[in-house]
Amino acid sequence: MLRSLSEVQAEFAAALRDPTAGIPAEVVGPDGAPAPQRFAVYRNNVLSALGNALASGFPAVQKLVGETFFRAMARMYVLDNPPTSPVLLDYGATLPEFIERFESADSVPYLADVARLELAWRASYHAAEATPISPEALAAIPQDLLPNVAFDLHPSARLVRSRYPVVTIWRMNVSDEPTRPVDFSVGEDALIVRPDAEVEVRVVPPGGVAFVTALMAGETLGVAAAAGAAADQAFDLAGNLAGLIEAGALVDVRRPGNRP
């Protein structure tokens, strides 16, 4: 009985992810006989290509655990998480959650957050272009109007929260920055943004995540400042705002009367 193309494709895809599965009957060699060895080579090539895509997208994660460990973890991830898009640049979106469940990685508790930072870095790199505002644009706003203005953030802006020093760990594993002792009891939240050609990763100051999150949601500066102060008593509005402008994370000022 002839099967539909969709049935054959579904079995083919399932067999690629399960090395113990038999091959579809339709997979034959030039002589018309079953070709398990040919299929095995193809399966291995697919798994290897997806593993390479993960290694390219998560260089710091691989460096932290070593290539052998990473390749073994990546293979297990690939078998359980096939691509949902033909664009391999997007592959690995759920790797941080997979790492959190991967018991063999329990000795590296910050590994999932490093993976989150690398995902955010990739998303920031491929985000749309925009022109950051200048310090002069902010200075031109009358002081009495400042609490009621809102900002548009750069399309590349991303936040990653961590109870570990994730920015420090990431930097030491993607650059020539010398290795130094790290205080793993101190968390670091990260702001990732690409104002120009290069992606910048900065440690967010106290209260900054709540502040930036509120701005991203379209809240006014006054409301966002209140959120930052409520999140951390060390919140410094001037310092946080200056840091966002310096990073190129703000691209438009919306004054009262011209807000949507």
What does the domain layout of the chain look like in residue ranges? Answer: 1-108, 129-260
Separate counts of helices (H) and strands (E) for the chain: 11, 5
The residues, ordered by sequence, that sit 6+ positions from 167 with a Cβ below 8 Å of its Cβ are: 117, 188, 190, 201, 202, 203
Looking at residue 250, what is its pLDDT?
Answer: 96
Q: Which long-range contacts (CB under 8 A, 24 or more apart) does 163-166 make?
A: 163/187, 164/109, 164/110, 164/113, 164/188, 165/110, 166/110, 166/113, 166/114, 166/116, 166/117, 166/190
The C-alpha atoms of residue 45 and residue 18 are separated, in whole angstroms, by 14
Looking at residue 141, what is its pLDDT?
Answer: 87
**CATH class given for the domain over 129-260:** alpha beta
Looking at residue 89, what is its pLDDT?
Answer: 80
| DSSP string computed for 112-150 | HHHHHHHHHHHHHHTSPP-PPPPHHHHHTS-GGGGGG-E
Looking at residue 42, what is its pLDDT?
Answer: 62
Looking at residue 60, what is its pLDDT?
Answer: 96
Asked if 178 and 165 count as a contact pair (C-beta separation under 8 A), the reply is no
Looking at residue 199, what is its pLDDT?
Answer: 96
Encode the chain (260 residues) as per-residue pLDDT tens digits: 566 767 666 666 666 676 666 666 666 667 666 656 666 666 677 778 889 999 999 999 999 999 999 999 999 999 888 888 877 788 999 999 999 999 999 999 999 999 999 999 999 999 999 999 988 888 888 888 899 999 999 999 999 999 999 999 999 999 877 778 888 899 999 999 999 889 999 999 999 999 999 999 999 999 999 999 999 999 999 999 999 999 999 999 987 755 55
Looking at residue 1, what is its pLDDT?
Answer: 58
Looking at residue 137, what is its pLDDT?
Answer: 87
Looking at residue 86, what is its pLDDT?
Answer: 77
